[in-house]
Amino acid sequence: MNRSWSSLRARLVSTSTSTSHTSSRVRLSSVVFFASTGVLVSSYLLWPSKYRGSPTFTHKPMSPNYFIPATVSDISQTGPDLAVLTLTLPHDAHSTTDDASSLEPIWSIFVKDDDIQVERPYTPLHGVDENGNIKLWVKRYQRGEVGRWLHSKRTGDTVEIRGPLKTFPFHQGKWDEIVMISGGTGFSPFHQLLFRQLLPLQDKPVDDDTRFTLLHASRSPAELPPSPILQPLIDFAGAHPDHLRVRLFVDSDAQARVPESIARSLHVGRIDKCSIAHALGLSDGRCSWTSWINSFWTKGRSRGGDEDIRKKNILVLVCGPEPMVAAIAGPYGKNYSQGKVGGVLAELGFMAGQVWKL
């Protein structure tokens, strides 16, 4: 499960003043962008939804305004209380959905537990393919009604969904670097983004100069994203290190059984200030010299760690369990709005307009 959400002055006389004002304009533009978009997204997705209790139609395209049926066509257990469910839309639903297979990331759908009439948002791993399939990576939580309900489904069962609903306003080329920090199934929106923006270019030149970095945390290797989903990202990062880097974190490596290529990106420990600073090429006095030497990121290129992070065109996306989001980026605001930037990212100098909590 995952949540999602919020988003020039006159000519200058000297070069230094121009650079300073340009940086300020970029920051101001980002703040306005995030603030205005955040209000819209939050009010649409996170406040009580006017679409609860919406009717179900069987011969219409996908829409946020009503539910349509989808058939559970495959269930694959991927770890403890984790499964990938494939939902297949009726032909007349996906074939008439405007550009369903080319929807811009990042977007989600609502799934309704029709036993207790509760809906929850989930982010498809890929989107909608040409056959109308939607893949969801779902964790079963003890207190998660819809997650437990989905795990009880069998092949051939029907569930009701509505959407798509935009959960982050991604714009290609807007940022020089995008750092994605995820925990558990919070990986899904970032996979959707990378699947759309980078993976189709596996054997082609990458025109976009945006650099993506994925820091993902799981409790154990068994709870990492499934290998068929994760391996293409590892392969792309190996072939295009200037465009994608992947680092995986686990609390414990006990009984680790992962492919060697994935194991090379694996680190025992949690995503903390030190690991984020390394990913961004920033110096951090709290990181020991030994950790710098042993760090995975010492294999990457340096990117000017002395530069003020507030002047860099960097976006940090965070998605995962609430305690993790709060520790890294500060808690959500009221009604799961963006709230203030806090936690580790605030300590590193990030400000509103540079951080988005999904």
Binding-site residue ranges: 120-122, 139, 146
One-letter amino acid of 327: A
**Which residue has tokens 């499964």?**
83
Task: For residue 134, list its beta bridge partners.
Answer: 87
Q: Which two tokens stand for residue 174?
A: 């807007």
Binding site membership for FAD: which residues? 120-122, 139, 146
Q: Across the chain, where does the E strand assignment appear?
A: 68-79, 82-88, 107-113, 118-122, 133-139, 158-166, 177-183, 211-218, 244-250, 266-268, 314-319, 355-357
* Cα(184)–Cα(191) distance, integer angstroms: 12
Q: Are 155 and 72 in contact (CB under 8 A)?
A: yes
Task: Give 154-180 as a DSSP string.
Answer: -TT-EEEEEEEEESS---TTS-SEEEE
Q: Which amino acid is at 64?
A: P
